[in-house]
């Protein structure tokens, strides 16, 4: 896939001498760097600009779940926001009021905050990722952030790192000592959806090749079929994805797989229509959920999940599969049980780490 490279990098003076900006200067020799006191907030999107600021809040956050649905208990290492892959369905278009790709230059503070959290809770198994508010590896060829994070987690007995991406930018990972504590993860969709709704992301074959690259170097894997999009041939489309996935990688290296039907805040519908007029996904059959988001009718969601769970179970009956932001009723219809019957969703994922990765 094509590497997006910014032409201008706006850097706040407070972080201009940090490791992140140093890496960006080394790896973006053609970019113009501008040092400013503060990067101004703007509603105007500039696809050629990367912003580097000092983040003022907590850099380790909890997954933004809701009390109405089962949450995975994921923790987010907040190193940046926004994305340039232009996926039509991306919730960041409506969730964030900052249009440009922005990185947080105070990475030293981020690692200190992370260290404090792990040391203060030594008996907790910490599942931490970076792919919630931006793609984990989109800018890794320039930032080299993985070169800091992967070795950091390699030395932490009570923590695992998940790097979630739609890219193939895994070259930095090949040279790192990860000690089996990093999960490389890919978001997947059917070929029909990928071609129409993920115009700048890597192809499915490229993602599978990147997964093989990581698996051959000892990394554990995860895959996220989210958002699942309803269209007439969805069964054959998603069935093909699963067939290709399990032909490409050893299922025994996969720690977990998540399934999530397309859901969105009502404001996103207008954004998709304006920014992606060719997309048909806002015109599906939706109902407002308990969290205020629009969701497919429950029968459609259950049909999605039952089909995919059955297909995955035929390949690996023990693989941890979970639903992202669904309630007891959908879980019971799709799986025959509720996460609470197995100690909760967080416990299910912790057990997957202990069983497959032998950590914790």
The pLDDT of residue 45: 81
The pLDDT of residue 317: 97
The pLDDT of residue 44: 77
The pLDDT of residue 264: 93
Round to whole Å and give the CA distance between 303 and 41. Answer: 43
The pLDDT of residue 47: 87
SS3 call for 52 = strand
Taking residue 155's Cβ as centre, other Cβ atoms within 10 Å add up to 10
Question: In sequence order, which ranges of the chain are alpha helices (DSSP H)?
Answer: 19-27, 92-95, 107-120, 140-143, 146-154, 191-197, 204-216, 234-248, 266-275, 298-315, 328-335, 345-352
Query: Quick check: 75 and 126 in contact, CB under 8 A?
Result: yes
Binned average pLDDT, 10 residues per bin, the chain of 360 residues: 91 97 97 95 84 94 75 90 94 82 96 96 95 94 98 97 98 97 98 96 98 98 98 98 98 98 94 93 92 94 98 97 95 95 96 95
Domain limits, the chain: 58-99+106-357
The pLDDT of residue 114: 96
Round to whole Å and give the CA distance between 158 and 139. Answer: 27
The pLDDT of residue 151: 98
The pLDDT of residue 31: 97
Task: Report the top-level CATH class of 58-99+106-357.
Answer: alpha beta
The pLDDT of residue 360: 80
Round to whole Å and give the CA distance between 274 and 282. Answer: 11
Q: Is the dihedral of CA 208, 210, 211, 213 positive or negative?
A: positive
pTM over 0.75: yes
The pLDDT of residue 66: 65
Query: Quick check: 259 and 228 in contact, CB under 8 A?
Result: yes
CA dist 55 to 110, 155, 179, Å?
Answer: 10, 26, 30
């Amino acid at each position: 896939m094509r590497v997006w490279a910014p032409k201008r990098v706006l850097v706040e003076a407070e972080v201009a001498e940090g490791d992140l900006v140093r890496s960006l200067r080394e790896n973006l020799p053609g970019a113009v760097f501008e040092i400013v006191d503060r990067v101004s907030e703007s509603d105007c999107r500039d696809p050629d600009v990367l912003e580097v600021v000092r983040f003022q809040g907590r850099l380790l956050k909890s997954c933004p779940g809701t009390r109405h649905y089962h949450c995975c208990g994921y923790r987010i290492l907040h190193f940046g926001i926004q994305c340039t892959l232009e996926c039509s369905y991306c919730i960041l278009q409506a969730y964030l009021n900052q249009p440009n790709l922005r990185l947080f230059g105070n990475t030293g503070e981020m690692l200190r905050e992370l260290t404090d959290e792990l040391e203060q809770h030594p008996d907790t198994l910490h599942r931490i990722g970076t792919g919630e508010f931006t793609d984990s590896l989109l800018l890794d060829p320039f930032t080299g952030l993985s070169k800091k994070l992967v070795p950091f987690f390699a030395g932490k007995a009570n923590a695992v790192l998940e790097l979630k991406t739609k890219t193939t930018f895994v070259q930095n990972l090949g040279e790192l000592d990860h000690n089996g504590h990093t999960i490389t993860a890919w978001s997947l969709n059917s070929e029909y959806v990928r071609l129409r709704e993920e115009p700048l992301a890597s192809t499915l074959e490229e993602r599978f090749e990147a997964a093989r690259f990581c698996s051959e170097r000892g990394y554990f894997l995860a895959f996220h079929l989210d958002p699942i999009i309803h269209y007439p041939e969805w069964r054959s489309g998603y069935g093909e994805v699963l067939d290709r996935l399990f032909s490409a990688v050893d299922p025994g290296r996969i720690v977990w797989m998540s399934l999530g039907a397309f859901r969105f805040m009502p404001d996103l519908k207008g954004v998709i229509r304006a920014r992606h007029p060719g997309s048909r996904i806002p015109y599906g059959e939706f109902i407002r959920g308990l969290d205020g988001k629009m969701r497919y009718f429950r029968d459609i969601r259950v049909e999605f999940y039952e089909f995919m769970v059955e297909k995955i179970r035929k390949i690996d009956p023990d693989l941890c599969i979970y639903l992202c932001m669904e309630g007891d009723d959908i879980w019971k219809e799709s799986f025959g049980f509720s996460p609470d019957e197995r100690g909760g969703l967080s416990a299910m994922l912790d057990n997957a780490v202990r069983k497959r990765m032998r950590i914790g």
